[in-house]
Structure 1
Amino acid sequence: MNLDEIIINIDFEDRTGLGYEIFEVCEKNGIDKISMEVIPDQGMFIKMRAIEENKLTFLQDLKGIKGVNKISFRNYMPYESREHKLNTILNAISEGVVAVSENGEIQHINKLACKIFECASEEALGRGADELFGKNPPILETLQTGRSHRLIERKIRRNQKFIRILTSSDPIVDSKGNVIGAVATIKDFKDVEEIISKVDLKNGLTTFDDIIYQGSKMKYLIEMAKTVARGNSTIMLRGESGTGKELFARAIHMEGNRANAPFIAINCAALPDSLLESELFGYEEGAFTGALKGGKKGIFEQANNGTIFLDEIGEISPSVQVRLLRVLQEGTIRRVGGMKEVQVDVRIITATHRNLEEMIKKELFREDLYYRLNVIPLTILPLRERVEDIQPIAEHLLRKIAKKLGKKEVWLTTESINLLKMQAWPGNVRQLENVLERVMNMMDGQVITLQHFYDWTDLSTPILKAENHDGEEFTIRVPVNQQFPSMKEIVAQVEYQVLSHVLKEHNSSRKAGKILGVSNTTILNKMNALGITSTVK
């Protein structure tokens, strides 16, 4: 607080005219008011120029006003305290933060942002965002359109040199959905490179013994993966999001003859092209503004004699595709800005959930690179195609989540397990884990029942869809309730619905058998067992 200023806090009983009388006392004593703030349950705060001559008279006059209970002194106005807390939080964040007002003027900037932009906060506050970020900054586009941006690379000329940053921006909206400002986070390009380079080459590696399964389909896939792991050919892991492709890549590395060498994983979709290229292949000193003195080894050099896992390989740009093809063909890399060829011995495992074959047709992915990467394709099945693995995976996840949350181990009822087995799980193991963690956070006790899933998740009675002979779709509801029927009862009810529907359209056991792929004798036996009464031919 400025020594030439004082702040008083008046505790009062609310009544008509009280504020006017307080102002009259201030005027009578020649008080120079700077600011005022009234907060319910905390009273009135007045910031004023320091007074000495008539200080006692002023305070006595205030106390003499009806409804004034107590007067005390404060170090900060409430808004100053809030501002101080906000600045403390912003300065504790490990990214630069800049917030702009509705008209694009900078309202907040934390210390790290000042360090990155090489400016004092006083220089930045009140200025237009384009003065700090350069022409057409993403934060102003976010302010105008309401759209967020992620990890956009920008080069800004400041103090006779270039600053290279990655910036993301989000709109600030009011309760009615109107954009009233925007906030940007800033990463120094050099810091991002350093973070990516700090890869723990040993920790977190997984063996095939860590993969949970009990079904024959996964057993076959793992045996195949163990066999190919002993070679050096490139492997492409296909499968939906959340099926565990990186888990398989790590296990393949640990099963092979490179287990004692580095394993480095990188998500190709998470980095802009320029950063991905310099991270994969490294760069020479002076290759670009901000390049480290002496240059830097890329991931291919760091992983020499080991394994690189390139996740989301379908997201790499054409220029990176060309450079990757050269590595596969020649076994050499050339750093960004360099002329020297560096020999590398690296096994490459890739993963994607995209249809690369369709991308090749659209000329979005190189066909020659595809055949270099797709030497050994392995497809990891989604959960819905290996229902027998859901129970052991769920039980394993519950133990893991319980440890994470510091809770006692919990169990699933038979009915709950059956419900999990009936779901489609578009997000696969990742979705299953999220559902279980949500339930464990909400529940008390140690047994997860059907009601827990109904109350706190979006799991519901599955609906099977089918088509009749004319291609018209109809639904079959699988009965799932708190008193869960047995699997035999569920199958019987589904058979009853399907058979009744077919016989309604085709009053012939032979036609019904042909449609359903069974003999007419089987149809007649099923009708008898299920109690379906119909005159059939």
Structure 2
Amino acid sequence: MTNTNEDLIPKAIGQAELIMDKNTIEWFYKIFDPIPVSMILVDEETNIMMINNEFCRFLEVTKEEAIGKKVEEINPNSRFPLVMKTKKSEIAWKHTFANGHTAIVHRIPILNNEGEVLYGFGMVLFDNMEEFQNIIVKNKLLQTEIKHYKQVLQKIQGAYYSWDNIIGRSRKTAQAKEFGKKASKTGSTVLITGESGTGKELFAHAIHNESRRSHQPFIKVNCGAIPHDLLESELFGYEEGAFTGAKKGGKVGKFEFAEGGSIFLDEIGDMPLKMQVKLLRVLQEKEIERIGAANPIKIDVRIIAATNKNLKELVEKGEFREDLYYRLNVMTIEVPPLRERLEDIEALTKSLLEKLSSKLGIYVDGIDKDALDILKTYSWPGNVRELENVLERAMNLGEEGKILSMHLPGYITKKEAHIKSNVIHRQLSEIIEEVERETIIRYIKDTKGNKLKTAKLLGISRSSLYDKMERYNITV
């Protein structure tokens, strides 16, 4: 006849030296027997005081066979003796029992106020390793989904680059990043300066993403790309009926869209003087006024501005307001040109090749050392943007495999050729390309970036000039 839990209690109490009474053990069984999780309680000598039905089934023993015996008699592989000796819990341990079953278990010593071991409590978390593996996989999938939705949220809010996207360990790059990180911790206006193609926008994204406004909108506006007469309505919006052709219901401006977050004003040096006055008011009064509105609107927006121009020189020429310049020039970050951090070329090339491989669907197994050395000797007037264009061209020419020096454009390789030999053997087409490129660059500098004047001086159309500038990676 099978003994009841009540029949086993005296045996358990005897092993516990009456530390627990009959009612306590009875209470334990009432709680733990219905639970479909394997549990066990042992005394300080590892004698089994309580084992529930689920654990008996798992170990393939009866309670009569288990109660009162040392746990290592029932399971020779038990680590309870070590746990009781060290007084240290073993949480979520993988354990193989004597019957061959593998499970994830807890073993916890229970101590009194003096730190002496009274009991040991054990439970099986997962007695099915396949189930455990499935949970791990599901958890990884959940983490992946969370990461994905975070990225989607970042894209919706507008900022999706972080400091990790700014590649390079050179001293100048490190200094710019360090200053940018400090700027992100404040609420001050930030001015990012640097040549075209250096990655000023990446810094703006990263500053926003590490600021207290990171979960709020990040709105981008290129002040040089929007016609001057439309810039005001684009930034501040307008009321219904403000002017002929105004939309019914009016329009919300970029500043209102950026409420609580940051607005990135790229090419701030191209902003007309009329708009500079209005921007100054935004910085001073923290309010905007829609076109045609009777009352101003209070806003909470952080301004991050960027320019490839020397604002101080523009101030001296009367082309940029001095008071606005000092309002913007609170936290200034200078992004170094690529020619001043050539030691970053290798890391940048690796990162860009990975990016372009995904974009073009072309697998490239790195870059040849000679080709990399050539990239390190070039001055890169177009900076990182030019490097990316050169690598994309090389990938398309080389298709799959390594990028070789022969895949690089002639205007880059010619400098290396000159270093290696006093005699340069090049094809006529390469010489023509070189002369054409250098001529366009010189004329653009002479006209201070005025493309219409440049095209007229060269005797070509403006569209032809744009095509050639794109072909030769010329940026202004």
Instruction: Give the TM bin, normalised by the shorter chain.
Output: 0.5 to 0.7
In the alignment, the residues of structure 2 paired with residue 264 and residue 218 of structure 1 have an alpha-carbon distance, to the nearest angstrom, of: 25
Q: Match for residue 458 of structure 1?
A: 411
AA of the residue aligned to 1:342:
I
Q: CA deviation at 1:445?
A: 3.6
Q: CA deviation at 1:307?
A: 0.3
Contact 2:158 2:218 in 1 (8 A): no
Give the length in aligned residue pairs.
269
Q: Match for residue 478 of structure 1?
A: 419
AA of the residue aligned to 1:409:
V
Q: CA deviation at 1:294?
A: 2.0
Alignment of 1:28-177 (within 5 A): none
Q: CA deviation at 1:343?
A: 0.3
Q: CA deviation at 1:274?
A: 2.1
AA of the residue aligned to 2:245:
G
Q: Match for residue 397 of structure 1?
A: 352
Q: Match for residue 309 of structure 1?
A: 264
AA of the residue aligned to 1:462:
K
RMSD, matched Cα: 1.9
Contact 1:235 1:349 in 2 (8 A): yes
Contact 2:217 2:262 in 1 (8 A): yes
In the alignment, the residues of structure 2 paired with residue 224 and residue 240 of structure 1 have an alpha-carbon distance, to the nearest angstrom, of: 18
AA of the residue aligned to 1:423:
Y
Contact 1:236 1:351 in 2 (8 A): yes
Contact 2:159 2:218 in 1 (8 A): no
Secondary structure (helix, strand or coil) at the match of 1:279 reads helix
Unaligned runs of 5+ in 2: 1-153, 423-476
For residue 215 of structure 2, the aligned residue among 253, 260, 274 is: 260
TM-score between the two structures when normalised by the length of structure 2: 0.55
Compare CA radii of gyration and give the structure with the larger one.
2
AA of the residue aligned to 1:479:
K
For the pair 1:386 / 2:327, whether they are aligned, the reply is: no
Alignment of 1:482-501 (within 5 A): none
AA of the residue aligned to 2:197:
G
Secondary structure (helix, strand or coil) at the match of 2:354 reads helix
Unaligned runs of 5+ in 1: 1-198, 464-475, 482-537
AA of the residue aligned to 2:370:
E
Contact 2:158 2:219 in 1 (8 A): no
AA of the residue aligned to 1:261:
Q
Contact 1:435 1:457 in 2 (8 A): no
Contact 2:364 2:400 in 1 (8 A): no
In the alignment, the residues of structure 2 paired with residue 207 and residue 480 of structure 1 have an alpha-carbon distance, to the nearest angstrom, of: 44
AA of the residue aligned to 2:413:
S
In the alignment, the residues of structure 2 paired with residue 350 and residue 325 of structure 1 have an alpha-carbon distance, to the nearest angstrom, of: 13
In the alignment, the residues of structure 2 paired with residue 429 and residue 305 of structure 1 have an alpha-carbon distance, to the nearest angstrom, of: 32
For the pair 1:449 / 2:404, whether they are aligned, the reply is: yes
Secondary structure (helix, strand or coil) at the match of 2:255 reads helix
Secondary structure (helix, strand or coil) at the match of 1:351 reads strand
Q: Match for residue 161 of structure 2?
A: 206
Q: Match for residue 424 of structure 1?
A: 379
In the alignment, the residues of structure 2 paired with residue 348 and residue 445 of structure 1 have an alpha-carbon distance, to the nearest angstrom, of: 44
CA-to-aligned-CA distance 1:264-306 (integer Å, 9 cap, x gap):
0110011112211001011011011121222121111110110
TM-score between the two structures when normalised by the length of structure 1: 0.48
In the alignment, the residues of structure 2 paired with residue 319 and residue 249 of structure 1 have an alpha-carbon distance, to the nearest angstrom, of: 25
Alpha-carbon spacing, 1:203–1:281, altered in 2? closer, same or farther (3 Å) = closer
Q: Match for residue 348 of structure 1?
A: 303
CA-to-aligned-CA distance 1:293-346 (integer Å, 9 cap, x gap):
221211111101100000010111111001000000100111011121100011
For the pair 1:361 / 2:319, whether they are aligned, the reply is: no
Alpha-carbon spacing, 1:204–1:348, altered in 2? closer, same or farther (3 Å) = closer
AA of the residue aligned to 1:213:
G
Q: CA deviation at 1:443?
A: 1.3
AA of the residue aligned to 2:415:
P
Q: Structure 1 or 2: larger helix share? A: 2
Q: CA deviation at 1:407?
A: 1.4
Contact 2:236 2:256 in 1 (8 A): yes
Q: Structure 1 or 2: larger strand share? A: 1
For the pair 1:217 / 2:172, whether they are aligned, the reply is: yes
Q: CA deviation at 1:408?
A: 1.4
AA of the residue aligned to 1:314:
G
In the alignment, the residues of structure 2 paired with residue 444 and residue 300 of structure 1 have an alpha-carbon distance, to the nearest angstrom, of: 45
In the alignment, the residues of structure 2 paired with residue 417 and residue 295 of structure 1 have an alpha-carbon distance, to the nearest angstrom, of: 54
AA of the residue aligned to 1:385:
E
CA-to-aligned-CA distance 1:437-486 (integer Å, 9 cap, x gap):
01111114411112222xx44212438xxxxxxxxxxxx953279xxxxx
AA of the residue aligned to 1:458:
Y
For residue 298 of structure 1, the aligned residue among 249, 253, 268 is: 253
Contact 2:158 2:217 in 1 (8 A): no
In the alignment, the residues of structure 2 paired with residue 368 and residue 480 of structure 1 have an alpha-carbon distance, to the nearest angstrom, of: 54
In the alignment, the residues of structure 1 paired with residue 323 and residue 383 of structure 2 have an alpha-carbon distance, to the nearest angstrom, of: 31
Q: CA deviation at 1:201?
A: 3.8
AA of the residue aligned to 1:478:
I
Structure with greater contact order relative to length (CA < 8 Å, sep ≥ 6): 2
Secondary structure (helix, strand or coil) at the match of 2:309 reads coil
Alpha-carbon spacing, 1:317–1:444, altered in 2? closer, same or farther (3 Å) = closer
Contact 2:240 2:249 in 1 (8 A): yes
Report runs of 4+ in structure 1 exceeding 3 Å deviation.
Answer: none
In the alignment, the residues of structure 1 paired with residue 280 and residue 347 of structure 2 have an alpha-carbon distance, to the nearest angstrom, of: 41
Q: Match for residue 185 of structure 2?
A: 230
